[in-house]
Amino acid sequence: MILLMIKPIPMKKIVFFLFLFGCLSAIHSQDYKLSFTGSGASSVVDSIYVQNLTQGTVLLLGGSDTLHLVSSLGIKIPNTGPAKLKIHPNPISDESRIEVYIPSSGNAGLEVLDGKGNKILSIYRQLYRGIHSFSLRGLISGIYYLKLTTSDFICTDKILSLGAHAETPSMEYLKGAGCADLKYDLKAQTGLVTMQYNEGERLLFKGYSGDFSRVLTMVPVNSQVVDFEFVPCSDADGNHYAVVTIGTQVWMAENLKTTKYRNGDVIANETNNSSWFNLTQGAYCNYNNDENIVRTYGRLYNWFAVNDSRNIAPEGWHIPSDEEWMTSINYVGGLNFAGGKFKESGTLHWNSPNTGATNESGFTALPGGSAGQVYVDDLGVYGLWWSSSQYSVSDAWFNCMGYDYANISRGNADKNYGFSIRCVKD
């Protein structure tokens, strides 16, 4: 008989092997592939905006792309390449579109220089990692240079203008990662797109199909097909809104922008801030009377517009009651936590520190400020939303979120104040 002497394995090594096996299993389990479909009002997905709410990174996908989530066990992947610049058409006769790729979030500058190096136009702003677009128009005939500067890269390109008439030149930021009205034409891009992902992180998806857009958030746990149920939501002005489901409710994921009631009647536009308290009818204003702010933050309305029988909400939608607000608030954990779970994450639109903001609900609350001197210079500081519920003859219920707290402040305010509006599906 042959006896085999088996040397026992020390307990420390057993623990190490179990730990190593666990790590390898985790690596394998975080290799997920997500594809996308549409349902409801459209079965076609044109493009998808993806944001890792934990890391703050973003990706842009074509509708037929597959998202490949790969773990790096907490080690951030390096930038995928240098900043990039594209102009089309070039030569330019009237207007061109500029697209830039920013490899890492931070401050960036885009400048147009003449042939002697003199600055003609410039835009400086904070941009998230991703693709951003600008419009350029009004250049008289000649040769110009376009210069993109980020914290890590500088790149340039030449512009040939064939402009036949003098016009005040202008360059305007159109859209990009993190904007409320983000939309990309990526139909031509198909393939496997990789994104770093660690187990348990929450992703936000915004799918587009024509005029429809749908927001959803999820913590992926396996490879799967993600379905966007597209729901029509458009106002009397023809503005189309992204929607999101919170519990059993479907909400607008953007602030209302309409200038008309549902029947087409025009809502009064009050431009004098001190006159708000003299109004007895529905009215709206743009923060600081700046139309450019509306694109991102929406308009501000008094409660008389909320309560008008002509209905300010899109067809099939309504202004939520205080009870409906509380239903969504309680669904995400109550007043003490809902602000953080409703607020858009990051500080692109909210002032720093944007306390507790995770946007895990997908509500994407933005700080549109107020009208009627509720607060001073509060764009980026506070977001305030009306409910349809009356508190008294002079006051109505509203909800407030702030840049420096994670809770929702619920209260009543004078009906003459100007606040933002979100609608909920009938």
43 lies in a domain? yes
Is 409 found in the same domain as 294?
yes
* The total number of residues written for the chain in this structure: 426
pLDDT, position 191? 73
Q: Do 322 and 386 touch, CB atoms closer than 8 A?
A: no
Is 189 found in the same domain as 170?
no
pLDDT, position 319? 98
CATH number, position 164 = 2.60.40.1930
Is 196 found in the same domain as 154?
no
The DSSP string of 366-426 is ---B-BSSSSSS-TTTEEEEEEEEE-SSSEEEEEEEETT-SS-EEEEEETTSBBB---EE-
CATH number, position 58 = 2.60.40
pLDDT in tens, 253-303: 999 999 999 999 999 999 987 788 889 999 999 999 999 999 999 999 999
CA-to-CA dists, residue 71 to 52, 67, 396, angstroms = 13, 13, 48
Q: What's CA 333's distance to the chain center, in Å?
A: 22
E strand intervals along 8-140: 32-40, 47-52, 58-62, 66-70, 84-88, 95-102, 106-114, 119-127, 130-137
Asked whether the CA dihedral 18, 19, 21, 25 is positive or negative, the reply is positive
CA angle 222, 223, 227 (to 5 degrees): 110
Residues of the chain with pLDDT under 50: 1-9, 12-29, 73-79, 177-189
Quickly tell me which residue has 């669904």 as its tokens.
331
Domain ends where: 176, 197, 222?
176
R_g over Cα of the chain: 25
pLDDT in tens, 305-340: 999 999 999 999 999 999 999 999 999 999 999 999
E strand intervals along 210-337: 212-218, 224-230, 243-246, 249-252, 268-269, 283-285, 300-301, 317-318
79 lies in a domain? no
* CA–CA separation, 332 and 341 (whole Å): 7
Nearest to 212 by CA among 188, 242, 186: 242
Residue spans of alpha helices (H) in 30-82: none
Q: How many CB atoms are closer than 10 A to CB 241?
A: 27
Q: Which residues of 26-49 are buried (b: 16+ CB within 10 A; e: fewer)?
A: eeeebebbbebebeeebeebbbbb
Is 191 found in the same domain as 166?
no
Is 90 found in the same domain as 69?
no
pLDDT, position 272? 85
Total domains, the chain:
3
- The amino acid sitting at 75 is I
Omega before 91 within 30 of 0, i.e. cis: yes
Is 262 found in the same domain as 408?
yes
Is 194 found in the same domain as 171?
no
Q: How many CB atoms are closer than 10 A to CB 412?
A: 16
Structure tokens at 146: 């376009």
Domain that residue 307 falls in: 243-425
Is 308 found in the same domain as 214?
no
25 lies in a domain? no
248 lies in a domain? yes
pLDDT, position 189? 42
Is 364 found in the same domain as 410?
yes
Q: Do 396 and 277 touch, CB atoms closer than 8 A?
A: no
Residues paired with 143 in a beta bridge = 160
Q: Does the predicted TM-score (pTM) go above 0.75?
A: no
Is 96 found in the same domain as 143?
yes
Omega before 353 within 30 of 0, i.e. cis: yes
Structure tokens at 126: 């904070």
Structure tokens at 354: 């944007």
E strand intervals along 162-236: 170-176, 192-196, 203-209, 212-218, 224-230
Domain ends where: 176, 196, 219?
176
369 lies in a domain? yes
417 lies in a domain? yes
10 lies in a domain? no
Is 334 found in the same domain as 191?
no
331 lies in a domain? yes
Is 158 found in the same domain as 214?
no
